[in-house]
């Protein structure tokens, strides 16, 4: 029997194959935010995914939110209200171009 150098790590062959979990998590996060219809904090997104029966952990959700924010699909203004799609514009925010 061969031992790996790092104890506690399974050899590559014994690991579960990558199934694109974060990609599916990004899709699920977008669905939750759009369905909410308002800005949603990270904790509420995690809670909504859990209630929907999705198996994404809080770390995966946080990474998916970071990916979606970096790509511009979601925005998280510094107003402490949560994530929202980039195309939503709050009606009380005056435009710089009006």
Instruction: Spell out the per-residue pLDDT of the chain, length 98, in tens.
Output: 555 455 555 454 444 444 467 889 999 999 999 999 889 999 999 999 999 999 999 999 999 999 999 999 999 887 778 999 988 765 566 667 76
Distance CA 59, CA 21 (A): 12
Radius of gyration of the chain (CA): 18
Burial class (CB in 10 A: 0-12, 13-18, 19+), 43: exposed
Within 13 A of 96's CA, how many CA atoms are on the CB side? 0
Structure pTM? 0.68
Tell me the C-alpha distance between 29 and 24, whole Å. Answer: 9
Contact 93, 81 (CB under 8 A): no
């Amino acid at each position: 029997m061969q031992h790996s150098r790092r104890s506690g790590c399974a050899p590559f062959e014994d690991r579960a194959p990558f199934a694109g979990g974060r990609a599916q998590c990004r899709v699920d996060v977008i669905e939750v935010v759009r369905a909410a219809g308002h800005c949603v904090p990270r904790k509420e997104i995690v809670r909504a995914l859990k209630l929907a029966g999705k198996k994404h952990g809080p770390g995966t959700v946080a990474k998916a939110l970071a990916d979606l924010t970096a790509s511009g699909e979601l925005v998280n203004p510094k107003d402490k209200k949560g994530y929202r799609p980039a195309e939503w514009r709050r009606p009380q925010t005056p435009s710089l171009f009006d």
